[in-house]
Amino acid sequence: MTMAPKKATSRPYQIKGVWYYPQPHYEYVEEGTASLYGGGDVFHGRPTATGERYDMNGITAAHKTVPLPCMAKVTNLENGRELIVKVNDRGPFIPGRIIDVSRRSAQLLGFERQGLTKVRVETLVPESLALNGLHPSTVMVAQAPVSSPPISRAVLPVAAAAPFVTPKVSDPETLFEALEGNDGYENSPPPAPIIVTRAPVPGPREAAQTPFVESVVMAEAPAPITNPSPLPVKLEARPATGIFVYVGEYETYAKAQSVSRSLDGFADSPLGIIKNRGPQPYAARLGPLASMSEANQLLDQLVNAGHLISRIVIQR
């Protein structure tokens, strides 16, 4: 993966009680719902997360977790139109939506009137590096294995110790006091996720020549179910608090269950499916977990197993 430089926009942030963790690498591809930024001109002229002024006539977009700024290709799956946009802001924070686009971008993609459409979003790594003034030789590249079996947590190196001790989830009040810190700011975020790095097997040239997008497409297909009658994965109620790792969100319960079954035995953490709102109403997730250190380690496992859109969510 092509690692992005650390910036202020790389820090975790909290919106309506949910923590979002910007991903450390540029590679990203996902299908979901796109919306018109602010419903029109509501945010025109206001500063974005990168400090730039939002221009409703510009070709820009907002995303919750990709590195900022970056370039991405947005494909309207309802009419086939494609557009390359500059992602320079955070959002949307409405369940089921994966990207907000400017008014001009919605016009060019052909969905300004209806305001919503089904899209595929794919980051453009070379263009993103150029936008940030980076040369490929200056960034760390690590190939994420897709076809290899899941890695047991027992053989992973222990994550670096955080500068604080995270309490157990069984004590939620103390947990979130520790996560929010004691620096006087109510929304002070927890430490950034610890990414466990391994020495890549291929050399830098081989890793750079490996097409990443194909790996993403392969990773999204769930492993075939060889057991005709596996243990059922039940639909669980959303608990009030806890640290979870979300594997992905899906349009049907069958899809979420298939992904969950493919992760059977992947980790010791409880695995379940929850009901969300929006066009992708089912989510497969692991947890609750005892600490952020365990969540970071599990997130690292999932990324290495090909689940590149996995993320940590703290429910309060």
> Is the pLDDT score of 164 beyond 60?
no
pLDDT value of residue 316 = 66
Most confident of 74-88, 154-168, 209-223: 74-88
Indicate the range of 51-65, 186-200, 233-247, 293-307 predicted with least confidence. 186-200
Yes or no: say if 114 and 228 are a contact pair by the CB < 8 Å rule.
no
* Average pLDDT for 135-153: 55
Pick 125 or 266 by higher pLDDT. 125
Domains of the chain: 8-137 (2.40.40.10), 153-315 (3.30.70.1070)
pLDDT value of residue 47 = 92
pLDDT value of residue 280 = 77
Spatial distance between the Cα atoms of 289 and 245, rounded to a whole number of angstroms: 8
The residue to which tokens 């608090």 are assigned: 241
- Tell whether omega for the bond before 67 is within 30 degrees of 0, i.e. cis: no
pLDDT digits (tens, 9 = 90+) for 259-308: 888 888 777 777 888 887 667 788 888 888 888 878 888 888 887 787 87
Yes or no: say if 30 and 310 are a contact pair by the CB < 8 Å rule.
no
Nearest Cα neighbor of 126 from 71, 203, 82, 50 is 71
pLDDT value of residue 35 = 94
Residues in the chain: 316
pTM reported for the whole predicted model:
0.50
Q: Say which amino acid occupies 196.
A: V
pLDDT value of residue 269 = 76
> Is the pLDDT score of 230 beyond 80?
no
pLDDT value of residue 109 = 95
pLDDT value of residue 224 = 45
Q: Please, which pLDDT band fits residue 137 given cuts at 50, 70 and 90? A: confident
pLDDT value of residue 1 = 76
